[in-house]
Structure 1
Amino acid sequence: SQDGESFTTRMDVPADTYVATGEEFVVDTDDALMQVRVTGIEVGPEQRVEEADIEDVETLWTRAVDNVAVAVTLHPKDGAADQTRSLRVNVPGDYEFTVDETAEFGDEEFTVEGLQIREDAPEYRHEKLDHAGDFAYAKDCKRVYARDESLTAWSAW
């Protein structure tokens, strides 16, 4: 799946392959070449496992991680809760979001305050990162919480 869209494909894999959730590999489909992460392994009807020999696998569930859309919750500079808004930024999966650093995407500029980590992301000690210098790759972020630094339109009239 990629950004809410799902499709199926088949690929040849060496018989001696062992696969585990969290692993990443490249899939060559008719539409695109993409890097994916294994999110589920089905070895029978309604039977999922964390790892298996490829010969036992009926379906590998994956998520594209080479290019991702990350949800961002922006809190206004002045702290007005009713002005909180959401947006999505499209970035390479290996883009790093870092707490206390400012990011700029077109007209949007924000300072990262916290990172909510996806359940399928490997190697993170916490599901939320909120200390200065904490970072996560975009492909591992479920949501970014940030302070809006964008200039607001104003008029002297």
Structure 2
Amino acid sequence: MFITANCPECNDETEHEVLADSRDMLVRCTTCGHHRRLPKEKEPQALMIKAIVSREGASKVCGIELAEEDECFVDDHLVAECGDDAFGVEVTSIECGDKRVTRAKAPDITTLWTRTIENVVVKVSIHDGRKTIPVYMECDGEQPFVVNEMYVASGKRFRISHLKLRDGPLMRKEGWKTVAHRIKRIYGVRL
């Protein structure tokens, strides 16, 4: 095995051959042949953080692996491990002890509150002139939806009039688009 390290004899960054790898590494400079011991770099420890994964009304306790030096933010996209299954999730809240914060270092995190973003159920309200029909559409979390384009849900054709996002704003302008996991509700007009 070879590593790049600073050689005191060459006074430069050179390639070194690792001769022994125990508590310290015994290395030899491939340029000048100088032997010396180098302390091993501490490998970051992986932490399994408790994660509550929500998927359309149902929640389960899973785990998310983070390195000890990692910092986590609300809205980060991570992978949660639930037994043999793994889900793409978005962090919605971070719990540190009895406080909720928007960011934290991995060792300080007690629980990550998340929701799945791989396959999501999008709520659609289709207005037909007299009444509004509620429809649920299961789709990939990265599927794009565009204002004023035509879609089909539960056999009903509709054109999107506006999109309500999870983080607040309404998207009304023709051509504006977003992905399914960011949508709180789609409003459409039946065709």
Q: TM-score by structure 2 length?
A: 0.69
For structure 2, the residue ranges without an aligned partner over 5 or more in a row are: 1-53
Q: Secondary structure at the residue paired with 1:6?
A: strand
Deviation digits for residues 24-75 of structure 1, max 9, x if unmatched? Answer: 0112222522100000000011x11100101100000000001000000000
Does residue 87 (structure 1) correspond to residue 135 (structure 2)? The answer is yes
Alignment map for 1:1-150 (pairs within 5 Å):
1-30=54-83, 32-45=85-98, 47-76=99-128, 79-80=129-130, 83-105=131-153, 107-119=155-167, 127-149=169-191
For structure 1, the residue ranges without an aligned partner over 5 or more in a row are: 120-125, 150-157
Let me know the Cα RMSD of the aligned residues. Answer: 1.3
Distance 1:11 1:63 in 2: 13
Deviation digits for residues 97-151 of structure 1, max 9, x if unmatched? Answer: 10010012351211000000002xxxxxx610001001111100000000112xx
Q: Which has the larger radius of gyration?
A: 2
Distance 2:95 2:64 in 1: 16
Aligned length: 138
Q: TM-score by structure 1 length?
A: 0.83
- Could you say which structure has the greater relative contact order, defined with CA pairs below 8 angstroms and 6 or more residues apart? 1
Detail structure 1 runs of 4+ shifted over 3 Å in the superposition: none
Distance 1:11 1:30 in 2: 11
2:69 aligned partner, one-letter code: D
2:123 aligned partner, one-letter code: A
